[in-house]
């Protein structure tokens, strides 16, 4: 049991809002930004941040998917296998996360965050 106290609710809310907009507009996963916001601004433990982000991604994805599905922009033959792969990956990732300590998890998260940021910059300016 790890005790923690939530801080920085307003900066955290702003980060979640921006992550949701980016996710909806660009179709990117907003989870990395949510984890970053909860970790940096709200001072949550990294495991709490990742678990909460995983839950919120489901809510965000459901909202976005509903809009796109109603417009006919989602091909069920593509979305079905992708959804199953994401579900399987999330289950395996969660089992691995439980076994890792916070420092190791943070060391794994930072390169992923940098990769996503660089990929967004690359696609935004040169593609």
Q: Write out the chain's pLDDT in tens, 127 residues.
A: 778 899 999 999 998 888 878 777 776 667 788 888 898 899 999 889 888 888 877 787 788 788 888 899 988 899 889 889 988 998 998 899 889 998 898 898 889 888 887 887 787 787 6
CA-to-CA distance for 64 and 62, rounded, in angstroms?
A: 6
Neighbours of 4 (CB within 10 A): 10
């Amino acid at each position: 049991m790890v005790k923690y106290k939530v801080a920085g609710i307003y900066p955290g809310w702003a980060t979640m809002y921006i992550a949701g907009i980016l996710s909806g507009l660009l179709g990117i996963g907003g989870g990395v930004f949510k984890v970053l916001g909860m970790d940096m601004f709200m001072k949550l433990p990294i495991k709490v941040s990742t678990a909460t982000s995983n839950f919120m991604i489901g809510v965000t994805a459901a909202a976005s998917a509903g809009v796109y599905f109603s417009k006919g922009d989602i091909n069920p033959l593509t979305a079905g296998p992708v959804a199953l792969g994401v579900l399987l990956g999330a289950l395996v990732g969660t089992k691995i996360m439980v076994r890792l300590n916070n420092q190791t998890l943070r060391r794994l998260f930072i390169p992923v965050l940098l990769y996503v940021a660089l990929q967004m910059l690359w696609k935004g300016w040169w593609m």
